[in-house]
């Protein structure tokens, strides 16, 4: 949906439900993992520019109504019964999060494939703790072994999309390159020692060890 059309829709709905008259305003944000937000302190409802541009008017309008329901409830209500009742009143889907099957979202650069169900999971930042696939059908079809909370096959090993896959042949090539570099460093060090020795013996560069002066001594 175009941003101008979305902003006009948000302003119209804020007025329709009396929020504009109470000082509420609409604004944009740069979120990628959530569609909208509601701040009672700032009296502001925001939408993600990225997700708005990627989705149809239906999803955008539902998100605006979702946040309007928050604005019309107490700030401490969150996604409780009163908020769900308000969603029905304002025409929003009374679900805490948007449906990932319907809403088009960008994929994060950190990705992992579940070994149980094959689903690809993504994050915008590298997770700081261990994660497992949380889909219900995956848990049902891949139960955890006795005495464990999760099936090891369903553990998510996140890698950056630009990370280099270090396979065995690659490791061997890298080790060979390291050995070559060490040999070159040793050769350079030997050349330096020879040059220092030639200087102490008074041998001119390029005269060589078989020069007459060296043999005379």
**Residues 10-36: tens digit of each pLDDT:** 999 999 999 999 999 999 999 888 899
For the domain that residue 80 is a member of, what is the CATH number?
A: 3.30.2010.10
Average pLDDT, the chain: 85
- The answer to whether residues 173 and 151 belong to one domain is no
Residue 101 included in any domain: no
Same domain, 183 and 149: no
For the chain, the domain total comes to 3
pLDDT above 70: residue 167 = no
The pLDDT value recorded for residue 178 is: 78
| 59 and 116 assigned to the same domain | no
Q: What is the pTM (predicted TM-score) of this model? A: 0.56
- 117 and 149 part of one domain: yes
Element at 153 (helix H, strand E): none
Same domain? For 78 and 39 the reply is yes
Residues 9 and 54 grouped into a single domain:
yes
Structural domain boundaries, residue 205? 168-216
198 or 8, greater pLDDT: 8
Report if residue 102 sits inside a domain: no
- Strands, E assignment, the chain: 25-29, 36-39, 44-48, 110-113, 120-123, 131-132, 155-156, 159-160
Q: Are residues 128 and 65 in the same domain?
A: no
* pLDDT greater than 70 at residue 168: no
User: For residue 71, what are the contacts with CB-CB under 8 A and spacing of at least 6?
Assistant: 19, 24, 38, 40, 43, 45
Q: If you average pLDDT over residues 187-199, what whole number do you get?
A: 79
**9 and 76 inside one domain:** yes
The pLDDT > 90 percentage for the chain reads 54
Residues 85, 12 share a domain = yes
Is residue 64 a part of any domain in this protein? yes
Structure-token pair, residue 97: 């999060």
At residue 19's C-alpha, the angle toward residues 13 and 53, to 5°, is: 40
Say if 96 falls within a structural domain: no
Asked, for residue 103, whether it belongs to a domain, the answer is: no
């Amino acid at each position: 949906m175009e941003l101008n059309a979305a902003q006009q829709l948000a302003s119209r709905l804020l007025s329709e439900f009396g929020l504009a008259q109470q000082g509420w305003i609409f604004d944009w944000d740069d979120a990628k993992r959530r569609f909208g937000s509601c701040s009672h302190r700032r009296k502001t409802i925001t939408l993600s520019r990225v997700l708005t541009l990627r989705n149809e008017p239906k999803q955008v309008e539902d998100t605006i109504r979702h946040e309007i329901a928050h604005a019309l409830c107490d700030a401490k209500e969150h996604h409780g019964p009163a908020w769900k009742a308000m969603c029905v009143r304002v025409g929003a889907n009374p679900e805490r999060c948007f449906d990932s099957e319907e809403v088009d979202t960008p994929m994060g650069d950190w990705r992992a494939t579940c070994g149980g169900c094959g689903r690809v999971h993504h994050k915008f930042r590298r997770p700081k703790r261990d994660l497992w696939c949380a889909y219900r059908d995956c848990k049902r079809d891949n139960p955890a072994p006795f005495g464990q909370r999760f099936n090891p096959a369903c553990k998510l090993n996140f890698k950056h999309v630009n990370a280099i896959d270090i396979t065995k042949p690659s490791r061997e090539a890298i080790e060979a390159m390291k050995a070559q570099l060490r040999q070159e460093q040793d050769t350079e060090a030997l050349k330096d020692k020879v040059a220092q020795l030639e200087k102490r013996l008074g041998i001119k560069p390029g005269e060589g060890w078989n020069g007459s002066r060296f043999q005379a001594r």
